[in-house]
Structure formats: structure tokens, C-alpha cells
Amino acid sequence: MSTPTGSVGARLDSDNLQDYGMQTGSGTWDFKPSLTYTGQLNDFSWGVQLSGVKRLEKNKYDYAYGDIFQATLGQLPAI
């Protein structure tokens, strides 16, 4: 989980909000699950990680970043 910390109200001037990419927070509660699996086969170690972010609400400006899903696969020679 991540909590709504940081600012979502930074402004360029008195009339305009700063771009959402320049804010220090999202202003939303987010569910952030991840799953990691590792293994070894002969001389190689490998791993797979699945992770994501599910936005549970919109912030006070009625905005939320999109949901995210990521997958990573890696391998290394065993030492």
C-alpha cells in the first residue's frame, strides 16, 4: 500500500496547477502488490518478478494516475 503523501497542489502561479508529473505525490491510496520467484538450473540462477499499482481512488482534484503492471525476468551465471 502507499498512502497519499506529498503535494498535489503545487502551482505555476495563482491560477495554474503545476503539471502532474512535477507534483511530489499522487494524492491517492494505492495497492502495490508484487510477487517474486527465483530458481537455479545447473550453472544459472534466474528470477521473475511481477508487480503493479492499482489506484484505489481519485485525488482532491478528481484525478488519478493510471494503473501499472510490470514484469521482469533476469538470469545470472551461478557463482
Domain definitions of the chain by residue range = 30-77
Mean pLDDT of the chain: 85
Write the burial class of residue 20 (CB in 10 Å: 0-12 exposed, 13-18 middle, 19+ buried). Answer: middle
Q: Give 32's pLDDT tier (boundaries 50, 70, 90).
A: very high
pTM for this predicted structure: 0.68
